[in-house]
Structures are given as C-alpha cells and as structure tokens.
Amino acid sequence: MTLKLGVNIDHVATLRQARRASRPDPLDAGAIALASGADFVVVHLRKDQRHIHQKDVANLCKLFPKQIHLECACSDFGEKAALTCKPHSVCIVPELPGEVTTTGGLNFTPAVQKRLFKMIEKLHKKHILVSLFVNPVAADLRIAAKLGADVVELCTAAYSQAKTQKQAQKLLQELTLAALLAQELGLKVHAGHGLDYHNVLAVADIGGISCMNIGFAIIARSLFTGLPAAVEEMKNLL
Ligand code: PXP
C-alpha cells in the first residue's frame, strides 16, 4: 500500500496571525505542498480561529475540492463550518480550552457519542468522508466503527513523546495492534501527531496505515529548506 501524506499547514497561518497580516497565505502553502508531493492539505479550524480561519478553509476547498482534509471539533461551530466548506474529508478531534495543540484522541463519553453520531450522519449526507481521531485503544476503535466513521486517525502523540527506546517500542506495538483491529472492523487507518523526520519511519512500517498527517515538523523545516524540499523529503521517507 502506498502511504499518502497529508501536510498540515496550520502554522503558516500561525505566522500570518503573528502580525495579523495577509501573508504568508495558507492558500499558497496548500498549492506548494500539493505540487511538492503532498496528497492532502490538512487544516485544523479551531473555535478561536487562532491560526486557520474559516475563510481559509472555504478558499482551500474551492481551489482543491478533493484534497482538503479538515480537522474540527464535535461542536456546532465545527459541524457548520464543515457542512458549509465541504472539504473532501473531516477528522473530528477533541478540542480543549487553552491547549497548545491537540493532546490525545476523542473521549467517547455517552454524550460525545450521541453528538458524534449525528455529526457523522450529516457529514455523510454531504458526501464528506469522516475520520475520528482516536487513541490506539481497542474499545475506542469499536466505538468509532459503531458510530459509522469511515476512518480512524490513530493518535501518535504518546509515541512521539516516548522518552526511551523501550517505551517507544511498547507504544509502536499498541499502534500496530490498533491498526490491525481497525482494519478488521472495516475502518481505514490514518496516523498523526508529533511525527517528524526521525520518528515517522517506524510508524510508516506499521502495516495497514494509508495516510500520515504531519504538520509542525514539515513547516518548521521549511523555514530553512523551503516548503517544496521539506514536503518532498517527508514524502520520500514514507
Ligand atoms: N493529526 C491531528 C488529528 C492533529 O490534530 C494534528 C495537529 O493539528 C496533526 C495530525 C498534526 O500534528 P503535528 O503538527 O504535530 O504534525
């Protein structure tokens, strides 16, 4: 299976917002990422719109209707934005106030499951593929399948923060088992969060993952190498 690469361009908008300016434009970043080998452009529309704005998502979806992967929360705001912008696919993620970045997979409380079920149904009616960001835990994968998700994105945050080789191996094993179970449940498997040019290799070796979503490492490297080289280098690793 060829591993696809989704390049998250949120932090191009972070730089723009540092000066509340109009550049660098995420639209330019999206075009360059796709021209340099990315299969998808990923954007996380947060409720506070601290980096990517809804207008960015709308413009990206108009320009690249089949290549925009939107991350948003299970909320009225996220749902409305997704249904209005109509990206190719949506990954529903947890969003906690004050967090620097997403800290883990969805917490499937009964109330969250009820809300997710409705949101997934609405997104499917608009022919939008739905992914759920999950921890690599069997019970959560079963819930994702039951709720009707098409894809699970396995959260690699814990693996990417492993302090020792032994810890990394244990977490990789969890990701491997989760990828196997997800496929058995009929789900497509993505992975992402905290991946970089070093730790991505072991995850890429896990069978069954079809797409990796990577942002911070690529945008950080692009400051020194340029975005085309940073994207090409990551794509070549997969
Ligand atoms: N996948 C999901 C669901 C995310 O929320 C994020 C961060 O927005 C990423 C992948 C990319 O993480 P990173 O920027 O650490 O590569």
- Which residues lie across from 153 on neighbouring strands? 133, 190
Ranges assigned E (strand) in 94-197 = 129-134, 151-155, 188-192
pLDDT digits (tens, 9 = 90+) for 2-32: 899 999 999 999 999 999 999 999 999 999 9
For ligand 1, pick from 102, 106, 155, 190 the residue to mutate: most ligand atoms within 8 Å of CB.
102
Give the number of domains in the chain: 1
Q: Whose CA is nearest to atom 5 of ligand 1?
A: 102
Least confident of 92-106, 136-150, 197-211: 92-106
Alpha-carbon Rg for the chain, nearest whole angstrom, is 17
Amino acid at 58: A
pLDDT attached to residue 96: 82
Query: Which ligand 1 atom sits closest to the C-alpha of 44?
Result: 8
pLDDT digits (tens, 9 = 90+) for 169-201: 999 999 999 999 999 999 999 999 999 999 999
Q: Whose CA is nearest to atom 9 of ligand 1?
A: 193
DSSP secondary structure code for residue 36 in this structure: T
Q: Whose CA is nearest to atom 6 of ligand 1?
A: 193
Amino acid at 132: L
The CATH number given to whatever domain includes residue 50 is 3.20.20.70
In whole angstroms, give the CA distance from residue 74 to residue 91.
Answer: 10
Mean pLDDT of the chain: 96
Spatial contact of 78 and 93, defined as CB atoms under 8 Å apart: no
3-class state of residue 100 by DSSP: coil
Indicate the length of the chain as a whole number: 238
List active site positions. Answer: 44, 71, 193
pLDDT attached to residue 88: 97
Ligand 1 centre to CA of 192 (Å) is: 6
**Residues near ligand 1 with C-beta < 6 Å?**
8, 10, 44, 71, 91, 93, 101-102, 133, 153, 192-195, 213-217
State which residues form the domain around 8: 4-237
Q: Is the pLDDT of residue 103 over 80?
A: no
Ligand 1 centre to CA of 163 (Å) is: 20
pLDDT attached to residue 1: 61
Q: Whose CA is nearest to atom 8 of ligand 1?
A: 44
3-class state of residue 144 by DSSP: helix
Nearest Cα to 42, choosing from 22, 69, 60, 20?
69
Spatial contact of 40 and 212, defined as CB atoms under 8 Å apart: no
pTM reported for the whole predicted model: 0.95
Spatial contact of 4 and 11, defined as CB atoms under 8 Å apart: no
